[in-house]
Structure 1
């Protein structure tokens, strides 16, 4: 039987640098969390919006929610994955954060083709800065137990997790597409570029 791949749209909390919830920002004619969700629907067998409990009230149907479990409150994005593996321990997850307005369906499909199933996880990688993008990543079902071990040691960094487990490093052919947008100024630039591109 084919191993089902689940998609996880990670909303995160209120960004202090952006000053508002990044998952609600509109780059493509709808809130980013819905745009990413619909993009993942083309790739994954099932998709969920991962958010904290206060954000769940604003998510409209037919989008499915996976709210962070109370045990994982206030630990950052790792809460999304711990909740996902606790709920669906037998699935792999493709994780996409709402900070990446340039990411495309094509980028994600190419990434999935590059995966080595023997690795615990794999992520888009910034060679220039030698850092993983933990919220543009694939986490195999094997990650679940390893993340719990980290959580029990009060270690909550997904960057650390990916380094510790020698996760796959995916060097994207279009590195500009993995730029994270974190401030109002960056948002304005991204919005203008995306709007201009859509007009051609």
Structure 2
């Protein structure tokens, strides 16, 4: 992990871990999977800690007891009629409308501090977002990105018109785009099979095979 504890924290930046999904395809809560001998949300929280002022978790109210030790919880359920990651992101924006948010989805098992550091280093708060460009899909990754207040305001306006997709909103924004040094970090694990692939990748790294 990158040691950033002795560097000044960026102003006006909180961390947000998106944990409110139903995890139907995985058949178990993705945020609680232990890829590294601790629940994945705790691993992400530790990654974010050196780079942000506070880290919050967005979740459903029924999940609240799972996330002790965070700065606080934001409830997706409060955004009636809205589903998916936009609900958590807008809950964060409404709570702290002048704050930027470093958003990380809980289904990114291979994410490391290097990607977090690259986003923070490449951040331009005068723009609407900072995102990693996915080299395979050729679009900016919306759920491993920094969303500035102005970008989240556009997401809120779009959601009000029924357009809740963070990726499509991100493609509208004026953003700083970061080259992806390790595309594996953008791998989404949403099914038991994808979980096994992620576990294999991590095991190979630990054994020095990759």
Contact 1:121 1:168 (C-alpha < 8 Å) held by counterparts: yes
Does residue 121 of structure 1 match 2:129? yes
Does residue 181 of structure 1 match 2:161? no
1:114 and 1:62 map into 2 onto residues whose CA distance is 26
Give 1:13's aligned residue: 21
Out of 70, 74, 79, the residue aligned to residue 66 of structure 1 is: 74
1:162 and 1:20 map into 2 onto residues whose CA distance is 29
1:56 and 1:96 map into 2 onto residues whose CA distance is 18
Deviations 1:37-90 (A, max 9, x none): 111111111101111112112222356322225234542100111100110111
Deviations 1:99-154 (A, max 9, x none): 11111112210222122333211222213322222110100121232222112111
Report the more deviating stretch, 139-148 or 84-93.
139-148
Secondary structure at 2:79 match in 1: helix
1:167 and 1:69 map into 2 onto residues whose CA distance is 29
TM-score when scaled to structure 1?
0.90
Q: How does 1:60-139 map to 2 (within 5 A)?
A: 60-61=68-69, 64-68=72-76, 70-139=78-147
TM-score when scaled to structure 2?
0.86
Give 1:147's aligned residue: 155
Does residue 38 of structure 1 match 2:46? yes
Q: CA deviation at 1:190?
A: 1.4
Classify 1:100/1:71 alpha carbon distance in 2 versus 1 (closer, same or farther; 3 Å).
closer
Does residue 197 of structure 1 match 2:202? no
1:112 and 1:61 map into 2 onto residues whose CA distance is 24
Q: CA deviation at 1:199?
A: 4.9
Q: CA deviation at 1:12?
A: 3.0
The CA RMSD over aligned residues, in Å, is 1.9
| Gap regions ≥5 residues in structure 1 | none
Contact 1:134 1:162 (C-alpha < 8 Å) held by counterparts: yes
